[in-house]
Amino acid sequence: MRPFRHRRLTAVVALATMLVTAAPPTAANAADKPDRRAGYHRVGYFTQWGIYGRAFPVKKLDTSGAASRLTHVNYAFGNVSEDGRCYVDGGPGEGDAWADYQRPVPAEESVDGVADAPGQALNGNFGQLAKLKAKHPDLKVLISLGGWSWSTYFSNAARTDASRKAFVASCIDLYLKGNLPGGDGAAGGPGAAAGVFDGIDLDWEWPNWAGEPGNVIRPEDRENFTKLLAEFRRQLDAYGRTTREHHPLTAFLPANPATMDAGYEGRKIFKYLDFATVQGYDFHGGWEAVANQQSALRVPAGSPDNPDFSVEVAVDGWIARGAPRDKLVLGIPYYGRGWTGITGGGNGLFQPATGPAPATFEAGYEDYKQLKTLAGNGYTVHRDLRAGHAWLFDGTTFWTYDDPAVVLQKMLYIRRAGLAGAMIWSLDGDDDNATLTKTIGLGLTTW
């Protein structure tokens, strides 16, 4: 590992510690002393589609050193059908069973260097996750359900006692028991994926609040989300009595206080969750006409929006609503948000833009591994150390992103606030040396 030199790292640690310690007291950082407990969660999302354009197979989690720094891998995503069931479907827009468990993985992409053999019941990402767990036995793998695109029918699944029971049973059957579609000589079949997944992560975006256009939304989603968690906990515990294991249940929660109030019963939901990951990004983006921060630790001075979003606003919001500190895991972006056509001069921050910046896969969205190459290559790195964010600007194009210094500052914030750890969206955004993931591991090491 060569992302840092010792003296430089020491200086960054000292500066970040000073900045976090000097912050004004809030609900999140007013703990009597920094938290020094062991066992921080380090949760990374692995995207189903990352094996394609981003060329990020499961093997890279091992060869980069990321897997040894993680406690959990969340596989994104599992789909929810209109009739409220977990399902795998290879239809366009409905899923990718080929990537999940059908694709024969060649030796050069395999965690153990052995190619998938013809007639295997388990191939693809699921098979490689099983191999990764064999190599890293303390690593937990969760299936993450929903996400931005597949939260359409969560409300249907959660609507009644009967629908909740059926939905949870279908998810446990498909993912934990591993009863995949297929078999009879093809990939899949009864028990094919048994043991790959240890638990369930719910990414319902969002109960009783607009997400992707077309999502089913009902006012009763707020109470039904709690009831759905209770049903998951009940059935996971029952299943655990047969496996003699604890099967984790987690959820992804929003940064917007209005969404918190509309969709969640605050303190009640944490009775059933092992922990929850909190959105620490997408505060602003190319859908807006002004270049801004997307993941600042605190609201920057001079922000044109009042109120505005920040990590601290999100975390304080959940704590004020009864969330236990030691069940909150802070989300860290491995990507940046960008604008182009910046006018107004200065360093670009809070200046008008003509639209989202051109990028590799999606306008206004670029992976950290690409953004890191811009620094000093026509772009200047700017920092607001007090607010805890960084950005790149070349006079026309602006990218807000988290680099190792920002990530380390956030790890120190997690420690001082007594939070449960860090979450990554998403692992394929890191460079081949897993620089950001190693920074998280360093920052959350017990001192």
* Catalytic sites, residue numbers: 205
Per this entry, what is the length of the chain?
A: 447
d(CA 26, CA 313): 9
d(CA 248, CA 77): 17
Contact 60, 437 (CB under 8 A): no
Strand positions, DSSP E, 34-176: 41-47, 72-80, 86-87, 140-147
Paired strand residues for 338: 399
d(CA 153, CA 156): 5
What does the DSSP 8-state code read for residue 38? S
Name, in order, each residue with C-beta under 8 angstroms of 155's C-beta and a sequence gap of 6 or more.
207, 215, 216, 217, 218, 221, 224
CA-closest candidate to residue 368, choices 424, 414, 421: 424
Contact 381, 390 (CB under 8 A): yes
Residue 155 tokens, joined: 């409300």
d(CA 436, CA 439): 5
Name, in order, each residue with C-beta under 8 angstroms of 161's C-beta and a sequence gap of 6 or more.
227
d(CA 9, CA 282): 28
- Beta strand 249-253 with 199-204: parallel, antiparallel or unpaired? parallel
How many of the other CB atoms lie within 10 Å of CB of 246?
A: 13
Contact 180, 88 (CB under 8 A): yes
CA dihedral 257, 261, 263, 265 (to 10 degrees): 120
Alpha helix segments (H runs only) across 172-270: 221-243, 257-263
